[in-house]
Amino acid sequence: MGKGKLSKFKENETFKNVFQPEVSDYQNFTHELKGAWNKSVFGNNNPIVLELGCGKGEYTVGLARMFPDKNFIGVDIKGARIWTGAKASNMEQMSNVAFLRTRIEIINAFFAENEVSEIWITFPDPQMKERRAKKRLTSALFLARYQHLLADNGFVNLKTDSRFLYKYTCKMAEHNQLEIVRQSADLYSEPWIDDMLQIKTYYEQLHIDDGNTIHYLKFRLPNNKKLEEPDFEFEP
């Protein structure tokens, strides 16, 4: 491991808005902040927004700058990546930003029912191989996890350069009759794009520089909807 990563890990430990729990028993683990993020971390009752797979945290920090009346939590397993957003938000003394280092598979151990108002999923691994379908962050398995922590009919946003993942998630929403609020197969060609959607992560900029098209989907996720995987055959 490089010295750069080690120094970032060490500095993360000094940031009051970075939480890095040690989990030995994933099946029975429940974090002490579950149900208490607003009271114990943010000191208000503002809506909580999650960015799952936040990477360097550009979207978490960018949204927090735009919406000081909301609280934003970036979630990622890579501590060296989280450090970038944590460092920026600390330097700016932002009180509505936090970062959680954990696996998204156990996200329900950290958030109580209805504790989260909205979810952003930005440029995740599309997991194109069929044997890894359950690892897609918009699969029925993951959406069911989000249902437990998301307010009823809360929003899920997907921003991706993967045409495969975009079409798969559109199919997932259509198959389960989830209300699609907005979608685009070519986001930056849309006349309705706003500042919120123009935030660019490090990885997004790499995709754009490679000539890739950016896709976007926003849909509602009801709490009581039983979700099923769609029959999906990818057509490039």
Which residue in 76, 125, 152, 194 is the catalytic one?
A: 125
Burial (0-12, 13-18, 19+ Cβ within 10 Å), 4: exposed
What is 140-191 written as a DSSP string? HHHHHHHHHHEEEEEEEEEEES-HHHHHHHHHHHHHTTPPEEEEESSGGG-T
Cα 35 from Cα 114, distance rounded (Å) = 9
Pairing of strands 116-122, 150-160: parallel
125 as an active site residue: the answer is yes
Active site residues: 125
